Every structure is written in C-alpha cells, then in structure tokens.
Amino acid sequence: MSTHEHDDIIDAAVRILLEEDRCVTIGFSPDGISIRFPTTRKLAEHLGIPHYYVLPRFGAMERDGLIRRVERIGISTTAAGTRRLLGIMAERYGEHAEEILGAGIFPALQARAAAPGGEEPER
C-alpha cells in the first residue's frame, strides 16, 4: 500500500485530535517527532465501523512505516507518519491546527518533521 492509501485513517485521527480531544501529544527524540494516535477503538467509533476492521489497517500502516504500536503504551507516528499527518493537518485543518498548536509551533513542527532525520532545520 502507498502511504496515501492510509489517508482516511490519518484524516480521522487528525479530526479526533483537533476537533474532539482538542489535544495533540507530541514526542521528540533523536529519531524525530512522533504524534500520539487515538486508540483503535476511538478511530473505529469515529469512522462508524467495527473495531476489527481498523486493526488490519493499523497493521498495514505499521508495515508501511507510518506508525508504531507499543503494548500498553499506545500508537504513535514514525518520522514518515508524522510528515504525512502534519501534511494532512496543514492541507485540510490548518486553522484548527494553529488554534490547538499555536501559530508559531505548527510551522516549526512541519519544518522539523520535513528536515532530514527529523533534525532541527538550519536557520
């Protein structure tokens, strides 16, 4: 699957984070930026589909290098998943993203996520 085939799940995650939860949990590490995903059950409920339909989609997203699942911790984006999630966020929900993240933080996250290895971009 191409990363764009996962856009419906990523879009749903963005809507949940920005419009329902109104909270985005971000992690920083030497590997780059990660963003905490809503639970699979919450995504299934939001999409109006059974939970067991979401699980294989998450498996495919994990195989495609967009997310990582850690038992008892949750699901978060990889560097590639963060770039895709922030791209969808900017393209479709920019105003909401700036409201939640702040006008300065949102573009800074995009720049850092786009930098090679998720490093701080040169100024």
Nearest to 64 by CA among 115, 16, 2: 2
Q: What is the pTM of this model?
A: 0.88
The full set of domains in the chain, from first to last, is 3-114 (1.10.10.10)
> What's the one-letter identity of residue 23?
C
How far apart CA 82 and CA 32 sit, in angstroms, is: 9
Instruction: Give the number of other Cβ atoms within 10 Å of residue 62's Cβ.
Output: 15
Mean pLDDT of 7-13: 96
**pLDDT higher than threshold 60 for residue 118:** no
> What's the one-letter identity of residue 120?
E
First to last CA, the chain: 36
User: What are 39-93's pLDDT values in tens digits?
Assistant: 999 999 999 999 999 999 999 999 999 999 988 889 999 999 999 999 999 999 9
> What's the one-letter identity of residue 29?
S
Mean pLDDT of 33-42: 95
Instruction: Give the number of other Cβ atoms within 10 Å of residue 68's Cβ.
Output: 16
**pLDDT higher than threshold 90 for residue 99:** yes
